[in-house]
Structure 1
């Protein structure tokens, strides 16, 4: 399939979903007018112009001629803010997230033949329960595994905060991939100075983010990202479940969901309502966050939707 045909198919999928592509997007060619390629973005000062990449939703490739941008996370500042870093492997928080990640990894390995088994979503019932804190720490802990790589996706597209937590400026990302056929994965993927950890920002906000996450383009993107590397785990920091619909749509595509529960604040009724939105996800785990004192691992539990 040619580049133009790929772009046309993307545009048709967006229009069928009722989403108008952004201005400047490649339009289907007419009989009298050939399709024009979008102009290449101007290189930043001091940078050489990168080779033009074909407009494909999943163009991440080590042989594409365009390398993903590398960003530097200040690990000292991250540790001072209470986060796990590779430089503090024996800190208490490192041990806590070892306990959290082990059953998640076991279920990924046990269901390796199931599509999407390496897709993991972190969410909460309501805002403020600590889901992004958990997402960042869990991503770093998973990246410290000897045989795993991690792509942390900021899927909280209305209130993205992953890059802010890591001390990085906002950047194009997930929604740009889904709305602009000229954007490829390597245009928005951020490699970090933490070995085996990459980031996919939320990107430019869009009024129909729920429809975008439910679109065929999103399904193809997830398939491509999850299948490209056998050792990759895709970890999604999603919006809270009850005040939004984006995370409910995203959960239907996940292999597992980790639901963060705030100690002494999240009510049983609120938790039950949140769990009811995850009935289509095969594996749901609960993590009790913000406890005052506890033995390592005592806050972690597993919930099966078919159990009482």
Structure 2
């Protein structure tokens, strides 16, 4: 996997969302993180060779390539815990920076954490990739949920990793900007955020400069992480992205696809 260099800069929060009492409903794991009983959530086994082909390394905790992901996880969780944040948006200036791969690996790393659960939502409605990268079967997905053809419990998937749930999008969504700005999406984000106190909800957003999709939905999230592709994004693109993120709680920037450096422990 390409090297990931986390650069986390704390920002003074403008507001801290009010904590809400979680509403435990059938369809997901028990609110007790020690229990992993999925009553209605579809359980789908993952294939190691498929994950490796798409650079998903955090699934295997014995991988020597997951150290950077775990370091990023620890930094992100520290800032989110300090502010009571539970929704994290991940975006990039342009396509191909690796934001989706990073989002999947980060969510898996969070799920490996002993006190956290992770939900990963594919909100890149123009070019959804989360389900394909994981190799999930998607008979029902966010597409059906948005079309009122399925309930939330019908579209969530557990990829056999405890404390990890995915809400995939199977195919591109027409009028994506309008959909992301709709009350339906706002209510969905609020519902997912308030369902479990100990769950981190990660949303894979479209690139900032490719459309107005990400800019439209960003105010609905507690915080955001920016993924920059090494040698791919110009200074102007990064500055323009930071301008669009000016009112968001930007918790840090990740330099992705950097050259791997050999390191020894201590």
Matching of residues 120-135 of structure 1 within 5 Å:
120-135=88-103
Residues 269 and 79 (structure 1), Cα distance of their counterparts in 2 relative to 1, 3 Å cut: same
1:176 matches 2:144: yes
List per-residue Cα deviations over 1:183-205 (Å, max 9, x = no partner): 21001111121111111012454
Match of 2:127 among 159, 176, 182: 159
TM norm structure 1: 0.69
* Counterparts of 2:235 and 2:27, CA distance in 1: 51
Q: Which residue of 2 aligns with 1:49?
A: none
Structure 1 ranges of 4+ moved more than 4 A: 63-66
Summarize the Cα distance change of 1:295–1:223 in structure 2 as closer, same or farther, 3 Å threshold.
farther
Provide the rounded CA distance (Å) in 1 between the counterparts of 2:170 and 2:177. Answer: 14
Task: Tell me which residue corresponds to 1:271.
Answer: 238
Larger RCO: Structure 1 or Structure 2 (Cα < 8 Å, ≥ 6 residues apart)? Answer: 2
Counterpart check, 1:254 vs 2:221: yes
Contact 1:68–1:190 (8 Å) recurs in 2: yes
Contact 1:84 1:141 in 2 (8 A): no
Displacement, 1:83? 2.2
| 1:141 match | 109
CA distance in 2, matches of 1:205, 1:77: 22
Query: Does the 8 Å contact 1:261/1:288 carry over to 2?
Result: yes
SS at match of 1:83: coil
| Equivalent residue, structure 2, for 1:215 | 182
Q: 1:52-103: per-residue Cα shift (whole Å, max 9, x none)?
A: xxxxxxx98227997121111113432354322443x243321101111112
Shifted more, 204-213 versus 144-153: the winner is 204-213
Decide which structure has the larger Cα Rg and report it. 1
Partner of 2:12: none
The aligned length equals 232
Number of the residue aligned with 1:91: 63
Write out per-residue CA displacement over residues 121-151 of structure 1, whole angstroms, 9 at most, x where no aligned residue.
Answer: 1111111111111111111111100011111
Displacement of 1:277 after TM fit?
Answer: 1.3
Root mean square deviation of aligned Cα: 2.3
Please, which moves more after superposition, 61-70 or 267-276? 61-70
Checking the alignment, whether the CA contact within 8 Å between 2:86 and 2:201 is kept in structure 1 is yes
Question: Alpha-carbon deviations, 1:197-218, whole Å to 9, x = none?
Answer: 1110124543222122111221
1:267 deviation in Å? 0.7
Gap change, CA 1:90 and 1:71, over 3 Å in 2: closer
Is the CA contact (8 Å cut-off) linking 2:128 and 2:172 kept in structure 1? no
Equivalent residue, structure 2, for 1:62: 26
Q: TM-score, normalised by structure 2?
A: 0.80
3-state SS, counterpart of residue 146 of structure 1: coil
Equivalence for 1:104 = 76
Q: Which runs of 5+ in 1 are unaligned?
A: 1-58, 297-308
Separation of aligned partners in 2, 1:126 and 1:214: 21
Following superposition, the deviation at residue 258 of structure 1 comes to 1.2
